[in-house]
Amino acid sequence: MQKKSNTSRRNFIKTSSKTVALVALGSSSISSILIACNNTKIITKTNRFNTNFNQQPLPYAYTALEDVIDAKTMEIHYSKHAAAYSKNATEAATAEAVDITKPLENVLIKISKYSTKMRNNAGGHYNHEMFWKCMQPKTDDNIPTGSMQTAIEKTFGSFDAFKKQFEDAAKTRFGSGWAWLYVDEKSVLKIGSTPNQDNPLMDVAEIRGYPLLCIDVWEHAYYLKYQNKRADYIQNWWKIVNWKYVQQRFELV
């Protein structure tokens, strides 16, 4: 019954010219539905960045990011931690009758309907699949270009100001989690962080929207090389951000 009602409402919003007025009323439930609509639109628009339940090959060698992330960390992170999220998410999907031929994003945007095991592992799998692609071997003068550069400068004042805000989000996330650059339901660029393996696609997350860039700040992501110096890891990480990939995600929204 609930599902049917949400579907009707969503269809109404999709086709209604009153959408803007409804948002202006500040109803959080309407905002949530709009986020779900936007994300659904993104998911159905293209399969290019959709995620499935299987772990994809790492797009570079374990040694490729060596200046910033050592090979041992990459190997353990990819082949142990991330592999386990994929395996456990698939197990949860089987137990909870989820069609694993459909994109994982469909589960994430209504994660409140699933188990804690699904939340932790589907989130963990999605976040890591995205994280690997957000990185590339170190390049000189590694900055965003094109519309991503323009949007960052317009929203945050400058690339340096953006970096400072993103670093602060990553540094101040207490315990384990992620920092994100994402686009919110009003198509505004935002920076935020999530605990554990949550992400901005999830209907339970404090920050909601479509993620463009992420950094893993769990200790397993940096501890072998940086020990307790999370700030050094974050600052060094800018050298290996794959801005071309971030730009491609930005062009979807």
User: Binding residues for Mn ion, per CB under 5 A?
Assistant: 216, 218
Least distance to Mn ion from the beta carbon of 35, Å?
25
Smallest separation (angstroms) from Mn ion to the CB of 137 = 20
Q: Which two tokens stand for residue 211?
A: 């993620």
Nearer to Mn ion, 85 or 245 (CB): 85
Question: Going along 138-204, which residue ranges are E strands?
Answer: 177-183, 189-195
Q: 184 vs 216, which CB is nearer to Mn ion?
A: 216
Query: Are 171 and 234 contacting, i.e. CB atoms less than 8 angstroms apart?
Result: yes
Distance of closest approach, residue 176 Cβ to Mn ion, in angstroms = 8
Is the separation of the CB atoms in 188 and 31 below 8 Å?
no
Instruction: Assess contact for 234 and 216: CB atoms under 8 A.
Output: no
Residue 194 CA to residue 178 CA, distance in Å, equals 5
Nearest approach, Cβ of 246 to Mn ion (angstroms)? 19
160 alpha-carbon distance from chain centroid:
22
For the bound state, the minimum distance from the C-beta of residue 221 to Mn ion, rounded and expressed in Å, comes to 5
CA distance 218 to 177: 6
The residue among 132 and 218 lying less far from Mn ion, judged by its C-beta, is 218
Choose between 185 and 216: whose C-beta lies nearer to Mn ion.
Answer: 216
241 DSSP assignment: B
The CB-of-193 to Mn ion minimum distance in angstroms stands at: 14
Residue number closest to Mn ion, CB atom? 216
For 121, the enclosing helix (H) or strand (E) is: helix 116-133
> Judged by CB, which is closer to Mn ion: 151, or 215?
215
Q: How many CB atoms lie within 10 A of CB 181?
A: 28
Shortest distance (Å) from residue 159 CB to Mn ion: 26
In the complex with Mn ion, the residue whose CB is nearer, 198 or 216, is 216
Quote the strand ranges of 137-230, DSSP E. 177-183, 189-195, 210-216
Q: Give me the phi and psi of 21, to 5 degrees please.
A: -60, -40
The token pair at 4 is: 């049917």
Looking at beta carbons only, is 13 or 83 nearer to Mn ion? Answer: 83
